[in-house]
Structures are given as structure tokens and as C-alpha cells.
Chain A
Amino acid sequence: MRVAVHTEIAAPRQRVWDYIVDPDRHLEFMEGMTRWEVDGRKRTGVGARFAMRMRVGSVELGGLIEIVEFDPPCDMAWTSVTGVDHRGRWRLRPRNGDCADVELRVTYHAPGGILGSIADLVAWPIVRGHLQRSLAELKHRIETLPAVRSEAAAGKRRHHTQGVAKARRR
């Protein structure tokens, strides 16, 4: 099944790109996402891996995903390594000067023959709803929150994450 949602954000494409490639921000705007953690040393670019989970119906689905396409500030695509078999893509295009066309696509496939196809079909409105609300939240955050403030918050968050990592190492 294929889900594609789209929105227009009144901000330069580069700013939207910077927002979506920052792994610390995914849980802020991705609806239904319960986990988004860097797996390994690489945090971005081709080969970066993430452990992700999204609540769909009664369970948190997901697994390990890997970035397979990274073309700043236009396209970022991923594919599943383990867990639910799926692919996804962020597609950013400039529009009317300082605006960006943002499209988020996800293609997924459940095993299990006919019942798997039924599950795919039943899950479609749930996944689509999550993605639509995620784009709406992304648009809201980028358009209404000042860039300087969000960057400062990101810095603060990175500092906090490093602190937690240090504490865990101890």
C-alpha cells in the first residue's frame, strides 16, 4: 500500500530540510511515533540507521530503517532493514520564492497473503492520518516558531542527550 501526503510550508526549503534531517526532532512532530533513535555512529546521510516505532492500531510497528538516498535539500529516502517491510521518502521542492512543497511518502507491505492485504488496507487510513497530522505539525512548528528559538532548543536538547548518554556510560 502506498500513502502520500503533501503540504506547503511558508519557509525556505533549506530550513525545512534542516528540521527533518535532525533525528532529535522526529519525535516532536511525527504523530504516532513512539521511538526514533540513532542506531550506530552515523546520525544522518546515506547509511544512517534508526530504530523507529509507530503506533498503528493496537501495536507499535517499525524496526530498523536505513537511509538509502540523501540529496540535500531535496530528497531523503529510507528502507526497512528489520521489522515491517516498508520504504519512505521526504521530497522537498521550492515553490513561490520562499516556500517549500513538502511530500512524505510511505509504501508498506504486510506478509500473510490475503489477510496481510486486508491488514494493509485496514491500516491505510491510520497511517495516512498519522502522516497528515505529522506534516501539519511540521508546518505549524516551522511557520510559527522562530528559527532562532528552535535552533537554541535543538542545541539544548543535544546537550541534554549527550548528558544522558554520559550518564548511561557511567
Chain B
Amino acid sequence: MNSLLPTIRDDFESRDPDFIRQFLPILWLLASFWYRAEVRGLEKIPAEGPVLLVGNHSGGNMTPDTAAFVLAFSAYFGAERPFYQLAHSLVLTMPGLWWLRAFGTVVASPENADKALRKGAALLVYPGGDYEVHRPTWESAKVDFDGRKGFLRVAHRDHVPLVPVVSIGGQETALFLSRGQRLAKGLRLDRLFRLKVLPISLALPWGLNIGDMLGHIPLPAKITIQVLDPIDLRARFGAKPDWSAAYRSIIGQMQRTLTQLQSERRLPIVG
């Protein structure tokens, strides 16, 4: 069966720095006072040139970690620095989310990743995608990319620094109960919409929230984001890496940071 998702053109030219500047104050209010976001280590990101930013993903379809990081990156380096984000194609077909394109969000694919990096841009990817973002709340402090290693191949092929970005707090913005993988499979969502999950959560204002397609009102959980040192994959793992070993190494590093961030939190939501 063919996917029901419409074909989306590669839309690198929709990014609009003026629009981003206009939008930043809204994100700043949201990040500073709703999420009390704290983004550490931005100075570790190379000041210019292509870079692959690899994050763990949290918060269901509202993705507060993305909002906080995009704000922090754009404020720190300026909206004029080319910066793209990869997202599930379903996200970009939602009628109310047209503005994501103006922020530089493009459909997640290896081709688009290569294209962005070869343009000299910074690129934010969440390899865990929909699988990780809907993990249960009690797995908040777990990095789970579901074994997806494509980001390593992209950084290695394009010879760009890989910068891990670790965040915590997003999974406390609702009570995420289950990814609903069996439900998604039973409804054949994987084939129809490339969706492996149909998440089940308790969230405002719906109460029981199945699918999270309309989003939800996120609880004001404190978001903390830590940027790690850049990694040169070729220098560390050689010209022909053992991808599994490289994956374990990067994930391990991110997991240690996430565990550290978790240990700093005294109370759920409050942080």
C-alpha cells in the first residue's frame, strides 16, 4: 500500500531569518517563563560552517526541547546563520504548522541532511524521532534512538563535526503512558503515514490523549539542555568505522550526560 502522505518539495528556500527574528520574542517568553529553560554549552558549537547537532527528543508532539534549543541557537549565533531542522514529513503537512518551514524545518531524509550540510548550514536532527519523543514518562532520563545510526553516516560522509545535544524535562510536560506501537501496527499507520507509534498519554486539556495529533497544553516542566563537545567521527573512529561501536560510544556519552542532568533534578516538573 502506498503512503497517504503528500509529496513535500525540498523547501530550503522557505527559511526566513526576518520571520525568525519576529518570532523569537514569543519563544523567549515561552522558554524563559513557562519552561524556565536553561541551555548550556552553546559556545562549544563551532562558530561557523556546517555542523550536525544530534539531540535526544522529548515532549510528545509539542517538543519543548526543540523550541528552547532553536531559540537559544538563533539568539546566540543570530538568525542569519543558516540553521535547519529535520522533521517527520507528517509534521510538515499539518496546516497550522506552516511557520516551521520559515524556521528552517525540512523533511527528514538523508538527502536533505546532506543538502543542508553541503550548504554549510547547522543541522539539528533527532534520530529517535517519533519513537523517542513518545517514550513513557518514567523513561525520561533514557536516550533511545531505537538503534538508528543514519546520523553517524551523514556526519562521516560529509565530514562535519557532530555535536551531541542532551535535554531533559520534556517528558514531564504530560504523563506519557505508552508509545502504542501495537495499536499503530494494527491500524497500519506505518504503511499509511510512516508512523510506528500511536502514543497514549494523559495530557491537558484532553485527559486521555490518543495519538497527540492535535497536540496538548504542555505542563510547565523545567527544560535543561546541555551541549557537548564536537566530535570528529573520522578522527575518532577512522575512515571505515564500526558503526555499532560508534553508535554505542555516542549514545553512551549522551546517556551519561542525561543521567547527570537527571541527578540535578529534585522534583518532577519543578526541576
Known: A35-B43, A60-B72. A119 touches B25 (CB 8 A): yes
Q: Contacts A63-B78, A82-B80, A118-B29: A58 and B23 contacting too (C-beta < 8 A)?
A: no
Are A58 and B26 neighbours in the complex by a CB distance under 8 Å? no
Interface string of A33-71 (1 = CB under 8 A from B): 011000000000000000001000111111110000000
Rounded to whole angstroms, the CA-CA distance of A87 and B231 in the bound complex is 38
Chain A residues with CB under 8 Å of B80's CB are 82
The CA of A119 and the CA of B75, in the complex, are separated in Å by 14
B71 contacts across to A, CB distance below 8 A: 58-59
> Is A60's CB under 8 angstroms from B24's CB?
no
A111 at the binding interface (Cβ < 8 Å):
yes
Task: Report the minimum CB–CB distance from B248 to chain A (whole Å).
Answer: 32
Residues of B within 8 A of A (CB): 21-26, 28-29, 31-33, 35-39, 42-43, 68, 71-72, 75-76, 78, 80
Q: Which of A60-100 contact B (CB under 8 A)?
A: 60-64, 82-84
Q: What chain B residues lie within 8 Å of A60 (beta carbons)?
A: 39, 42, 72, 75-76
CB nearest neighbor in A for B71: A59
- How many whole Å from B34's CB to the nearest CB in chain A? 10
Contact yes or no, A57 B23, CB < 8 A = no
Assuming the contacts A58-B39, A59-B75, A59-B76, asked whether A119 and B22 have C-beta atoms less than 8 A apart, the reply is: no
| Distance of A118 Cα from B68 Cα, bound (Å) | 19
Contact indicator A119/B28 (Cβ below 8 Å): yes
Residues in A with CB closer than 8 Å to B78 are 63-64, 82-83
Beyond known contacts A59-B72, A111-B22: 20 more, CB 8 A cutoff: A53-B76, A57-B28, A57-B31, A58-B31, A58-B35, A58-B38, A58-B71, A59-B32, A60-B39, A60-B42, A64-B78, A83-B75, A110-B24, A110-B25, A111-B24, A111-B25, A113-B22, A119-B25, A122-B32, A122-B33
List the A side residues contacting B42 at CB < 8 Å: 60
Q: With an 8 A cutoff between CB atoms, is A116 at the interface?
A: yes
Q: How far is the CA of A115 from the CA of B21 in the complex (A)?
A: 12
- Check: A112 CB closer than 8 A to any chain B CB: yes
In the assembly, what is the distance between CA of A118 and CA of B24, in Å?
12
Question: By CB atoms of chain B within 10 A, which of A58, A63, A113 has the most?
Answer: A58
> Which residues on A sit within 8 Å (CB–CB) of B38?
58
CB pair B32–A112 under 8 Å, yes or no, is no
Nearest CB in chain A: distance from B119 CB, A: 20
Q: Which of A59, A61, A82, A84 has the most CB of B within 10 A?
A: A59
Q: Quick check: B25 and A58 within 8 Å, CB to CB? A: no
Considering the complex, give the chain B residue whose CB is closest to the CB of A113: B22
- A57–B26 touching, CB < 8 Å: no
Q: Give the residues in chain B near A119, CB-CB below 8 Å.
A: 25-26, 28-29
Distance of A41 Cα from B223 Cα, bound (Å):
39
Instruction: Report if A122-B43 is in contact (Cβ < 8 Å); known contacts: A59-B72, A60-B75.
Output: no
* 0 or 1 for each of A116-147: is its CB under 8 Å from B? (1 = yes): 10111011000000000000000000000000
Q: 4 smallest A-B Cβ distances: which pairs?
A: A57-B32, A119-B25, A58-B37, A112-B25
Choose one: B21, B22, B28, B43; the contact of A58 (CB below 8 Å): B28
Closest to A51 in B: B47
Contact partner of B24 (CB less than 8 A), chosen from A53, A64, A112, is: A112
Query: A59, B29: Cβ atoms under 8 Å?
Result: no
Q: How far is the CA of A119 from the CA of B25 in the complex (A)?
A: 6
Taking CB atoms, residues of chain B closer than 8 Å to A123 are 28
CB contacts (< 8 Å) of B21 on chain A: these are 111-112
Q: Which residues of B contact A115 (CB under 8 A)?
A: 25-26, 29
- Bound complex: CA A64 to CA B76 (Å): 10
Query: Are the CB atoms of A57 and B25 closer together than 8 Å?
Result: no
Residues of A within 8 A of B22 (CB): 111-113, 116
- Residues on A with C-beta less than 8 A from B36 are 58
Give the Cβ gap from A136 to chain B, nearest Cβ, in Å: 24
